[in-house]
Amino acid sequence: MLKRRMRYLSRYQDILTALYHYGFGQIVRDLGLLDKTRQRKKKKKNSDDELSVAKRIRLLCEELGPTFIKLGQLASTRSDLFPTHIIVELEKLQDHVPSFSFEEAKDIIEEELHAPLTELFQSFSEQPLAAASIGQVHQAELTSGEKVIVKVRRPHIQTIVSTDLAILSDLTELAEDRIEWARRFRLASLFNEFADALREEINYATEAKNAERLFRQSSDTVHTSVPPIFPTHSTRKVLTQAFVEGKKITEATFDKGYDQDLIAERFATGLFEQIFVHGFFHGDPHPGNIFVTEANEIQLIDFGLVGRLTSDMRQNLALLVIGLKSRHTDKVMDALLNMDIVHEEVNRDRLRDDLDTLRLKYYDVPMSEISLASAIQDMFAVAYDHNCIIPPDLTVLGKTLLSIESIVSHLSPTLRIIDLVEPFGKKLIKERYDPRRIARKTQNEFLDLVQTVRSFPKELHKLLKVTRGGKLKVSISVSEINDLIHKFDRISNKLAFSVVLLSFSIIMAGVIIGGALTAENTILTQIPAIEIGLTITSLMFLWIIWAIFRSGRF
């Protein structure tokens, strides 16, 4: 326990010192943790202060190791959050780590698979094909003779990542307490999103499930496939998958005997089918994860990051494409509302105005020349400017579309993405108005309504119990407070009006009754008290009525 605590504190200092060293000392000061940093020797030349902010962020991530590199790579998918120059720099993040020894890899495999390596594999290459911060890859051959690749997780990586994430969780929460921009940026929530994605990525069991699902999906796709996983040889630390023979997609060129136009079409069509038909897609289709066989067939690898789109999300995406194509702002707005991107606190009139400005940007541009990925990214940027919350899977979709367009434009510049995506869009639109789909949706909504009605008495009982206990909380916005004050003014003015009338009536009644009951001459009878009182009271009455009506709150 003490050793773990000391490791935590030491790593805490490492992170703060690195932040200070790379020019982010103001953040450390704002956190009140400047005294936790260590002293470093100054560099002779090329001070980090001379580097751009984006480069300093990349260097910081690379120095702090696996956790920060992976978080940086995940952040590079969020073009809705970070400016382009930072995204470009984060995409350059590389794992500059040496491979770990064959003996360590062998020990991990044997411990995880509960058998000697010689019984598990007919042959196993001691030299890894590639090494990264999370793990490394070895080529092997099963006892059945099938060629495979074996990914082995790096020793102690779970401890390293867990420690770093715990420290970063503390720092982001502290930042939201003490720094205004961190609060506005919802830093803790954003970090938690990235942390969850990283935990999934270092768990090879999750990647195996993703690969198996995509493998089943690819059985319906003609020219795009996913190599099968071998579950008996896979765990959370070891992943065994069929070996892929072929060229990286960007290296499959005409001069090497490949058909670039055909490859580009098959690649884009395969990914669009994953996105728009199945709603489960490869979330990181960069060139290193896409291979091409000699027959121009596409094979995908590395499924640590995937995207998911529900049926409703895909239908709303179709509505979004329709709105873009028809340049109809209200349809785009409806799609954003249906996707739950626009929350209640968003000024919808201003958002609609900004979307209308975006529509004008594309107004005179032929649809064939519009980049679908760029248009969606522009839309997300507008949504983010209004503090809308974009679901992570939609940002993964935006990143995937950008990757598809980049690879297709490299392989076949004349191929138009919109022509490839249009059939899927039409299919989604057709499904949207399919009577069977409408009937199913109506049935589900009816069942939800029945469930709501059934649970209403129980929920009402809970509400009454909370109310009786004096624990009912009421949230009122500024606009609601103004409305409340307005209503109180109206009530108080009406009350004043009633009091004045009552007072007027009592005074007059008292004077008249007093004069009638006495026959003696008094000072009161000698003075026209009734006339004077009536005049004064009438003037006061008229003045109050005028003041109330002038306020406009009657």
* pLDDT tens column, 235-264: 999 999 999 989 999 999 999 999 999 999
Whether 101 shows a pLDDT value over 90: the answer reads yes
What's the CA gap between 490 and 482, in Å, rounded? 12
Q: Domain coordinates of the chain in residue numbers?
A: 2-95+162-189, 101-154+203-243, 247-433, 482-551
Q: Are 152 and 109 in contact (CB under 8 A)?
A: yes
Tell me which amino acid residue 269 is. Answer: T
Whether 300 shows a pLDDT value over 90: the answer reads yes
Whether 447 shows a pLDDT value over 80: the answer reads no
What's the CA gap between 283 and 393, in Å, rounded? 9
Q: Are 219 and 212 in contact (CB under 8 A)?
A: no
Whether 510 shows a pLDDT value over 90: the answer reads no
Q: What is the percent of the chain with per-residue pLDDT over 90, rounded to a whole number? A: 32
Whether 144 shows a pLDDT value over 70: the answer reads yes
pLDDT of residue 329: 74
Q: Could you tell me the pLDDT band of residue 44, with boundaries at 50, 70 and 90? A: very low
What's the CA gap between 467 and 470, in Å, rounded? 5
Whether 521 shows a pLDDT value over 60: the answer reads no
pLDDT of residue 46: 46
Average pLDDT taken over every residue of the chain: 80
Whether 476 shows a pLDDT value over 60: the answer reads no
Q: What distances in angstroms separate CA 457 from CA 84, 448, 454, 464, one per listed residue?
A: 52, 16, 7, 10
What's the CA gap between 102 and 138, in Å, rounded? 10
Catalytic member of 284, 312, 378, 419: 284
pLDDT of residue 229: 95
Q: Could you tell me the pLDDT band of residue 155, with boundaries at 50, 70 and 90? A: very high
Lowest-pLDDT choice from 55-64, 87-96, 423-432, 523-532: 523-532
Q: What is the percent of the chain with per-residue pLDDT over 70, rounded to a whole number? A: 73
416 or 538: whose pLDDT is higher?
Answer: 416
CA dihedral angle for residue 272, residue 273, residue 279, residue 280, rounded to 10 degrees: -90
Per-residue pLDDT averaged across 468-491, rounded? Answer: 58
> What residue spans of 77-223 are helical by DSSP H?
84-90, 102-113, 117-120, 157-178, 180-184, 187-201, 204-218
Per-residue b/e over 472-504, b at no fewer than 16 CB within 10 Å?
A: eeeeeeeeeeeeeeeeeeeeebeeeeeebeeeb
pLDDT of residue 18: 92
Lowest-pLDDT choice from 269-278, 370-379, 396-405, 533-542: 533-542
pLDDT tens digits, one per residue of 7-24:
788 899 999 999 999 999
Q: What is the phi/psi pair of residue 150, to 5°?
A: -120, 115
Q: Are 408 and 268 in contact (CB under 8 A)?
A: yes
Whether 463 shows a pLDDT value over 90: the answer reads no
Count Cα neighbours of 406 within 13 Å in the Cβ-side half-sphere. Answer: 12
pLDDT of residue 45: 42
435 or 522: whose pLDDT is higher?
Answer: 435
Which residues are CB-neighbours of 479 under 8 A, at least 6 positions away?
none
Whether 227 shows a pLDDT value over 50: the answer reads yes
CATH number of 101-154+203-243: 3.30.200.20
Tokens 């248009």, located at residue: 375
284 is catalytic: yes
Q: Are 137 and 150 in contact (CB under 8 A)?
A: yes
Per-residue pLDDT averaged across 133-147, rounded? Answer: 93
Whether 279 shows a pLDDT value over 70: the answer reads yes
355 or 202: whose pLDDT is higher?
Answer: 202
pLDDT of residue 57: 93
